Amino acid sequence: MLAFASLLIAGAFGWFLFVVLLRDTAGQDWMVFDTAARAYWRGDSALLLDGVKLTAVLNATHPSLKQPLIFHPWVYPPFTLLLALPFGLMPWSLSYGGFQVLSFGGMAAALRPWADSRTQYARVLAGVALCPATAYTLGAGQNSFFTAALVLGGIWLLDRRPVAAGLLLGLLAFKPQFALLIPVALLASGAWRAIAGAAVMVSLLLLVSLAVPGIAIWRGWLHLYLNGDLAPRQWVELYGQSVFTCLRLAGASNGVANAGQVVALLVAATAVWRAFARPMAKLQRLLILLCAMTLGAPHLGDYDAVLLGIAAMFVLVSPAGGVASVLAVLAWCSTAINPPLLFQKTIPMLFPVAEMTPLVMLGFLVCLSRKKESLLF
- The per-residue pLDDT for range 288-323, each reduced to its tens digit, is 999 999 999 998 988 999 999 999 999 998 876 678
Domain ranges of the chain: 2-376
Q: What average pLDDT score do residues 164-170 get?
A: 97
When comparing pLDDT for 55 and 227, which is higher? 55
pLDDT over threshold 90, residue 223:
no
Which positions ≥6 away from 217 have C-beta within 8 Å? Answer: 45, 46, 48, 49, 78
What share of the chain in percent tops pLDDT 90?
60
Go through 305-331 and write b for each residue having 16 or more CB atoms within 10 A of its CB, e for each that does not: bbbbbbbbbbbbbbebeeebbbbbbbb
pLDDT in tens, 11-56: 777 677 677 777 888 899 999 999 999 999 999 988 988 888 999 9
pLDDT in tens, 170-216: 999 999 999 999 999 999 999 999 999 999 999 999 999 998 888 88
pTM of the model: 0.92
pLDDT over threshold 70, residue 237:
no
163, 196 in Cβ contact below 8 A? yes
State CA 71 to chain mean position distance: 20
